[in-house]
Structure formats: C-alpha cells, structure tokens
Structure 1
C-alpha cells in the first residue's frame, strides 16, 4: 500500500501475484482494509491496465482506496486465490508498442499486420491456489471531512473507422478514481494532435449527451457519424476524452486516439464468365481466319505452279516444231 501524506492524495493498494518470476493471470484478489472505530472496506484488485493499474496482465493487481476514515492506522489484508480453470501462468512476451502505419511526405504507409498468438502459445494453466498477505498504512489527513476525488484518467481510448462511422471505445473510469461511475463525458476531436493535447478545451466538442457512463471497469463504446468531417483518403482525426463526476470534478485528459481513413489501392478485378466466353470466342474466330488465309495461300501457290509447268511444256513443244 502506498503512503498518503495529504488528504487529497490517492492511496493505491496493489498486490503482485507471481510464481517465480512469471506473473499469474486471472486470479481473484480481494483487499480488506480495516481501521479501529470504522467499518471494514473490501475492494477487488484488478490487473486490467486501467485506473490505478498501470499495465495489463503483468501480475500486479491494483485499485485506488478512496474510503478514508480520517487520520490513523489502517490494517490491510489481501487474499489471492485462483481456480484451475481460470488462472494462467503468463510466459514472457514482447510488450513493444505496435504501430499500424507511418506517414512520409503526406502519404500513409501501412506496416505488416500485428502477429497474433493464441493464449495456449504464451500461457500455461496453473492449479488452484490461495495466498494471504498483510500490511498496514498510517494516514495523516488535514481535516475530519472526507476528501473528494475526481474520476481517474482514461488510458485506453481507442478509435477505429467502420463503414464511414468512427467508433470510440475505452474502459469506464469511476466517479471517485476507479470506484463508482462518472456523471458524464467530455469528448473532443481535432485534426491536429498538438492542439488537442495542449488546448483540449478549444478543440471541437462532440455531442455525447445520450451516452450514460457505466460502472468503473466496464467497456464503453461511442459511435460518431462524421458529417462534420471531410473524409478523404489519408485523413487522420484525433480524439481525447475527460470524465466528470457528480460534483463537477474532472479527470485528466485521456490518451489521444487516432482514426485514419485509408483506402488501399484497387486490386485487379478478374474477368467474369461472360468475359471469359467472349475471349474464347475471339480466339476461335482468329484461328478460323488464320486457317482460311493459309488455305487461300496454298491454293494460289498450287495454281501458280501448274501454270508455270504448262508454260514450260508449251515452250518445249514450240522449240521441237522449229527443229
């Protein structure tokens, strides 16, 4: 558990579950926080790469603790257990960021598709287990009132284009960091990445009034009909999002997602059956014409030979008469 020096600083509870040096995935990790004179608080720690968890599937299960009950010592007990059919032992794998393409002189060049591996190629099943660990935390708060926390930052915003519709997806933050749910979202777009990052409030706002935030940890999805965008080939649009809670506390700006409208070069279209038949008929016609030409040439040659022979015979007979 990380120490909190001020009331408004978030407290992060984390537990690393591993076998040797390899992370254990799919475990159920429950943290119980107790304080004298206060009710016990139970939290499920997550390894999903959002909220307090910085990296998905690294075996470190994390969660923000927002239910502080004033100054004092807090006792922590973490229970990690797994069943044979759900827990896996993850083998080491490359975590390098995959980039789908790059831009040179205004042209987009696509990289090869990211290789996909089946779970069985990078993970092995782990038997059932149960482990318990304990710790403690001393908190010094500035006052008796409970601190207010904003929603946590969205870190997995993703954008894609499907049938000229832009689809945004992300993991829902909570109303208090990664607990509860937000009140609403502020979604912005821009064709300039730096403008969106440095001047979020000035970017183009998207109407998300019909989008009702879900509980923290659930997947959100938002579709945009790009009537306001000129969708041309090689067009890149950037998106970012902030969450707002019911007390108007606002999260940090999310990661910036981009959607690229790219039309690949047209492939050669194979001829259909009718075209194939037409080509075959043309070949037959050419062959017939060629055969006719050969026959005509043969007849002409034969006729010339016969005439030459008759002419020579007449000349010989004429010479014999003079003799």
Structure 2
C-alpha cells in the first residue's frame, strides 16, 4: 500500500506483501514476505508485523525480520520475512502486513544503489593489463540516510491450506531452522564462533541445545557430520530465535602450524529431539606470529660478541 509522502518532493514509502506460495499442504511450512522501500532503495529498521487470519477469524501475528537468518535470505535488503507454521485447520487464510517507523528509527540503505553497477578492476590493451582506479569505498555514515516516520498497511492476498489438523492441534513436526550465518575466527589459541540463534520450531522460540563439530577436512563435515570431532557445549544455553549467539572453544591438541585450517558446523536440537539441517561450514585459520628472540638469548649473543671483540683487542695489543 502507498500513501502520499508529507513532502511532495519526497518519494513515498511503499510496502508490499505476499506468501511464498498460494497453496500449502500440511506439514510444509510457508514463508511470509514483506518488502519496504522508498523508490528503489530498501528501508531498514522498520517494525513489520504480519497478521494471518483464517476464515473463522482465528489470527496469528508474526514479527517479520530482515536479519539474514532463518527464512530471511539477505540481511538489510528491505525484505522482511518469517516462517509460518501455526496452521489452524484447512481452508483459506488471508495476509495483512503493517510496517511502521517511529522515533526516526528507520533509514534508507544507500549501498543498494552502489551494488547495481558492475565494477571492472582492469582491462587488457595490446597485450598489457591496465588497471582502473580503485572502487571508491562508502563510509558507514554515508551508506545510510534517515527517513521520516511512517505507517503503512498492505494486503498480501490469500492462500489455501489442506491436510492440517483442526484447531491447531498438531504434533511436533517442525525442527529448528538451519543456521546460515555461522562465522569463526581465531583469538589466541581459541576459536570464537558467532551466529544467529534459530528457534525450537524453525525461527520461533529457542532451541533446546546445540551440536558443534569440527574437522580439518571440509568434506568430513559436509558428507559425514556425525563422525566429525564433537565440541563440548554443556555450558552453552541457547538464546531466543533471532538473538546473536557467541561461543568459543580450544581445539584439541595436535600438530598445528601457521595456516592450519579448522572447519566448524552446527546443528540445533528442538522439540521431540527434532534436529535442524547442518549449518553453513565456517572456516578458522590459525596464523602463528614469528617468535622474537628472547632477552636472555639476546644478552648471551651480546656477551659473546663482547668477548670476541675483547679477544681481538688483546691480540692486537700483543702485536
């Protein structure tokens, strides 16, 4: 839905909404999408809420996220999304989305415009490589712009559901969502991990626990996750879906040298021990700084040099 902007020279904020498909057969989950934009630029920081209603008036309210995790594919692209699993019988469901910004919290993502142009680092002329000027970097404070407060309501049409039990009385069939943004890095002799928490049911609630495994072989995690080295996560308590998780561990003692690679992946465990898909595989590479000579060793070398010079002086004095 579009409403007139307060300033005639300013483009209005537009909100559109739709479901991932027009029909669903239980227990397949669906995804709610809402795009908030001004012109061709995505609007970030909006409060976006989806209201899904059955024919008999039963409503489900979902807060949509633009965090690049769970149902949301790309972070900060102005497309807010969330899984929908709370089916309440068969029939037709309607979708309505409310997007709003208060207290100047929303902003425009100006990086979108920069990314539309293809940057070519150089070209070949008469057999020689000629480099173009470096691509200009956009500073963080220049990458976003403030936007006026707004409130928009948009209809996302309707969709039909079949095979769902009545009154929402269904067994646990949905596992935690797949973690897609796992990151890893070395800090001293520990590996630090960070990721967005999934839910107990896809992206809702919080998982019961995590399984973290590591290997020096990428294919082991990709093809045989259950047999990779298990990391102790007894002290790791999952947070609510959408929260940022942080965890660190010390790799098992082994022959390690500069450039040693460790691959890490995670699974989340939810209701009825349902397990998520294996996460994206993160890489942590260990860089060992060169050791500087210790002070005692340096002192010994200086003493040896001093003795050699003294010996030379004695020899010269004899002659």
**TM beyond 0.5:** yes
Q: Report the CA distance between 1:82 and its aligned residue.
A: 1.1
Q: For 2:162, which of 140, 144, 149 is the aligned residue? A: 140
Between Structure 1 and Structure 2, the one with more strand by share is 2
Q: Report the CA distance between 1:38 and its aligned residue.
A: 5.3
2:204 matched residue in structure 1 = 179
Looking at CA atoms only, which structure, 1 or 2, has the larger radius of gyration? 1
Alpha carbons of 1:116 and 1:237: their partners in 2 closer, same or farther (altered >3 Å)?
farther
Between Structure 1 and Structure 2, the one with more helix by share is 1
1:237 matched residue in structure 2 = 262
- Mapping of 1:105-120 within 5 angstroms? 117-120=138-141
SS at match of 1:5: strand
2:42 matched residue in structure 1 = 23
TM-score between both structures, scaled by the size of structure 2: 0.74
Q: Report the CA distance between 1:77 and its aligned residue.
A: 1.1
- Mapping of 1:81-92 within 5 angstroms? 81-83=100-102, 85-91=104-110, 92=112
Distance 2:73 2:216 in 1: 28
The answer (yes or no) to whether the contact 1:153–1:251 under 8 Å persists in 2 is: yes
TM-score between both structures, scaled by the size of structure 1: 0.73
The answer (yes or no) to whether the contact 2:98–2:151 under 8 Å persists in 1 is: yes
Distance 1:124 1:149 in 2: 39
Distance 2:140 2:47 in 1: 19
* Structure 2: runs of 5 or more not aligned: 1-18, 118-135, 303-319
C-alpha deviations, 1:50-73, integer Å up to 9, x for none?
Answer: 010000000000000111112111
The number of residues matched between the two structures is 254
SS at match of 2:230: strand
The answer (yes or no) to whether the contact 1:84–1:125 under 8 Å persists in 2 is: no
Q: For 1:42, which of 61, 64, 76 is the aligned residue? A: 61
2:71 matched residue in structure 1 = 52
CA RMSD between the two structures? 2.6
| 2:20 corresponds to 1:2 | yes
| 2:229 corresponds to 1:204 | yes
The answer (yes or no) to whether the contact 2:88–2:165 under 8 Å persists in 1 is: no
Q: For 2:145, which of 106, 124, 130 is the aligned residue? A: 124
2:287 matched residue in structure 1 = 262
C-alpha deviations, 1:224-257, integer Å up to 9, x for none?
Answer: 0224444321100000001110211111110000
SS at match of 2:104: coil
